[in-house]
Amino acid sequence: MITVEKKDGHNLKLSHVIHEAKNRQLDVFLFIPGELGLNANIMSEDEFYHNVIHGKRTYFSDVHHLPLVHSRLASRGNLSSGQYRLSLSLFAYQYAVALEETIHQLLDEKVERTTEELEEVASISAGILKRLRRNVPTDEELLKYYQNIDNYLSWFTEQRFLSLVAHLPRSENYGEIKNLFLDFCQAESEHRLTNSYNSERAAADPTRMSNKMRLLRRLIEYPVTMKENTTVLGNTTKKVVTGFAAGFVMIFVTIMLIEARGVLGDITASFILVLSVIYAAREVFKDDLKQALWRWVRKGKPKWRKQFFDSNSNKLIGRQLEWLEYMRFDDLEDGVRKARKHKVSAKEETILHYKSTTRMSTTKFLTGYEQTKESILFDLRFLSTLMEKGSQKIYIMRDGQVARESVEKRHLINLITCESDEDQEPKIQRWKIIMNRSKIVDIEAID
């Protein structure tokens, strides 16, 4: 199952988990309104890949207690210093991701949450943090690492629950649970203050604290995030095509030179003029022939290859091939066309197709992990530059009078994904993404 959510500004985050299957093919189709005028001349496939798409792959496990067990063992001296750091980071990452997803679900305005559900989340979070702090390492080096982890998790937990309090309905039914959350957040704030995790100046400056916690989050994610090595495919083929095109054109140039020498005789002004025309034609047709051959040879073949390495052992644990191309509506597969639905607007849209095939070696994963989670961030800021400034004026009837109101201009982008695992039917999903010049306004999943 693929999840899509909006991040800050124009960032769109697409996430999916590769479960037992070792092979996964992912197709992402972006249907961009034709009125924006996007095409390959404005942004090429290579520019789109390097400037818009940013991917990250991490280990993933549904067994949330495994890293906690490792951290307990480490406190008894059964794990080395390196293993302790790794286990503690795994535990912190699993907790942070789980809490982030849970709070995101609770903030869904379409579903009303009960006080029992909210109390359970606070109770579980408090219990996890309590077990983490049960065994504090005595080694000074490990203690510093533990303090960084505990500092971040305390601040992160406080931020998530404060955001939940800010978005809960303003009714008496939620008064008691709000007070519970605020007491919990106050306790975490006092915990950081008691342990002197942050200086007074840093604690008083929200910007400074946010930047510090962002660095601590990277410290946590580093052991579970796979290193990537991206290679551009087709460089050797491109050289062969360039050489073949130049040689092929030179054959005709040589023939034309021999014919011109035979007709015009010795070197004269007429011969020099004809020679200039021949060489000018060579430059034009050589580039056209090279581009035509390049498109024909590389059609349907991957453009990039990624290799994934374990951050701790540097072992090669997976490979991924990637494609990116502009497509026509009529060239889409039937399932994708059906999901988009055949409308006039679909014919006018610019379609960008991103495809990846991934193969992972689960036997080389960290102990206890058999799944990976890929997060793809689409930075759609470039679309805002294509949108018109200003707002529209509309007229409405109100109490028998005509009123004029300003309405911001928004654009609808359709996103369709298709994921295919080994020996399983493809799963197609669709979302509507509403954007304006300043941000992504809303994301709506379409059944």
Q: How far is CA 441 from the centre of its chain?
A: 18
Q: How far apart, in whole angstroms, are the C-alpha atoms of residue 438 and residue 11?
A: 11
> pLDDT per residue over 30-76, tens digit each?
999 988 889 888 999 989 999 999 989 988 876 654 555 555 555 55
Distant-in-sequence, close-in-space partners of 261: CB < 8 Å, separation ≥ 6: 271
- Domain ranges in the chain are 2-229+302-446, 234-298
**Residue 429 forms beta bridges with which residues?**
417
- Looking at residue 425, its pLDDT comes to 85
- Which residue from 430, 419, 367, 428 is spatially nearest to 23, judged by alpha carbons? 419
- Residue that the structure tokens 């998530």 belong to: 160
In this predicted structure, what is the pLDDT of residue 54?
Answer: 92
DSSP 187-234: HHHHHHHHTT-S-HHHHH-HHHHHHHHHHHHHHHHGGGBPEEEEEETT
**DSSP of 354-411, one letter per residue?**
EEEEEEE-GGGSPTT--EEEEEEEEETHHHHTTSPPSEEEEEEEETTEEEEEEEE--E
Cβ pair 413, 433 in contact under 8 A: yes
Strand order in the sheet with 304-309: 227-232, 304-309, 316-327, 350-360, 23-32, 411-421, 427-435, 440-446
Report the pLDDT value the prediction gives residue 271, as an integer from 0 to 100. 66
Burial bucket for residue 362 (CB in 10 Å: 0-12, 13-18, 19+): middle
Q: Which long-range contacts (CB under 8 A, 24 or more apart) does 162-170 make?
A: 163/103, 163/107, 164/103, 164/106, 164/107, 164/118, 167/107
pLDDT at 109: 61
Dihedrals phi, psi of 30, to nearest 5 degrees: -105, 120
Burial class (CB in 10 A: 0-12, 13-18, 19+), 107: middle
> Residue 149: what pLDDT?
93
Whole-angstrom Cα distance, residue 205 to residue 341?
Answer: 50
Query: d(Cα 196, Cα 46) in Å, to the nearest integer?
Result: 48
- Tell me the Ramachandran region of residue 302: left when phi exceeds 0, alpha when psi lies from -120 to 50, beta otherwise: beta
How far is 399 from 301, CA to CA, in rounded Å? 63
The owner of tokens 């039917």 is 425
Cα of first residue to Cα of last residue in the chain, in angstroms, is 13
Instruction: Indicate the angle between helix axes 175-194 and 140-167, nearest 10 degrees.
Output: 160
Question: What predicted TM-score, i.e. pTM, was given to this entire model?
Answer: 0.80
**Chunked mean pLDDT (size 10), the chain, 447 residues:** 85 85 86 89 91 89 57 57 81 87 76 77 90 84 90 94 84 80 92 91 89 92 89 76 73 72 65 71 71 73 90 87 91 88 71 92 76 90 85 79 81 92 86 90 86
Beta-carbon contacts of residue 24 (< 8 Å; ≥ 6 apart) = 16, 18, 357, 358, 419, 420, 421
Secondary structure (H, E, C), 417-435: EEEEECCCCCEEEEEEEEE
Q: Give me the count of residues in the chain.
A: 447
What pLDDT sits at residue 47?
92
Nearest to 197 by CA among 150, 162, 240, 231: 150
Q: In this structure, are residues 119 and 180 in contact, taking their beta carbons and an 8 Å threshold?
A: yes
